[in-house]
Homo-oligomer: A and B are copies of this chain.
Amino acid sequence: MRVAVLGSKGKVGATMVQAVEAADDLTLSAEVDADDPLSLLTDNKTEVVIDFTHPDVVMKNLQFLIDNGIHAVVGTTGFTDERLQQVRSWLAAKPGVSVLIAPNFAIGAVLSMHFAQQAAPFYESVEVIELHHPQKADAPSGTAARTAALIAEARKDLPPNPDATTTGLPGARGADVDGVPVHSVRLAGLVAHQEVLFGTAGETLTIRHDSMDRTSFVPGVLLAVRRVAEFPGLTIGIESLLNLQ
């Protein structure tokens, strides 16, 4: 499979160039950065493009890729409903072309959320602990907030978490996300970690995801590259590629 990287000199793009070169079943067809013409992609018979570029240029990139029948795996951000609608209409004119846009390629994060939703209806109690390096600006993390919201939706027919707390210090019981307590730890030495804890009489279930370095997106992007052609049209998130449900 012939694969090109758009944004090949960016931090993520450069990592993906190495990853494609290291993969036995993939051939790096082109490295394209800001100053390079997109025609490098077609000249080199690219089948799939990995796009980690910028909201300012990603729409132009996608239009070119779809026009030329090249599948796209996109980690660039900034997709509004309007933009997604535009991508869908371009794809409608080119059946057989696939575009996959995902906010998070870490397979473990996606699996964690999926498992948490499946487990949620069977437990009286659930809480989320996320742990990150102390340079992080937001607390809770976006992933933790989204995980908690998905759990809350999955247990909406259940009574709230039992909690007899009557005295204490403000903040001890965490942030409330739709009824799910979320605790944010910020610790030097950590990277990005999350634990979902479920409990009922006599037993607990814990789903923990640890990202040890910034390359944890690589296996998810490679999985997407290998399977994107099976999903013509627009796909959001890598869930569908994981054969879940």
Structural contact, A136 and B123, CB atoms closer than 8 A: no
**Contact bitstring A94-129, B, C-beta under 8 A = 1, else 0:** 000000000000111001101100110111111101
For A181, A186, A203, A223, the residue with the greatest tally of chain B CB atoms inside 10 Å of its CB is A203
In the complex, the chain B residue whose C-beta lies closest to that of A115 is B115
- The stretch that binds B, out of A5-13, A52-60, A214-222, is A214-222
A85, CB-defined interface residue at 8 Å: no
Residue of B nearest to A191 (CB): B212
Contacting pair A165 B188 (CB below 8 A): no
**A contact patch SS:** mixed
- The answer to whether A169 touches B185, judged by C-beta atoms less than 8 angstroms apart, is no
Say yes or no: A165-B136 contact (C-beta < 8 A), given A173-B171, A201-B219: yes
Most B CB contacts (10 A, CB to CB) among A125, A175, A199, A245 go to A199
Chain A 156-183 interface residues, beta-carbon cutoff 8 Å to B: 161-177, 181-183
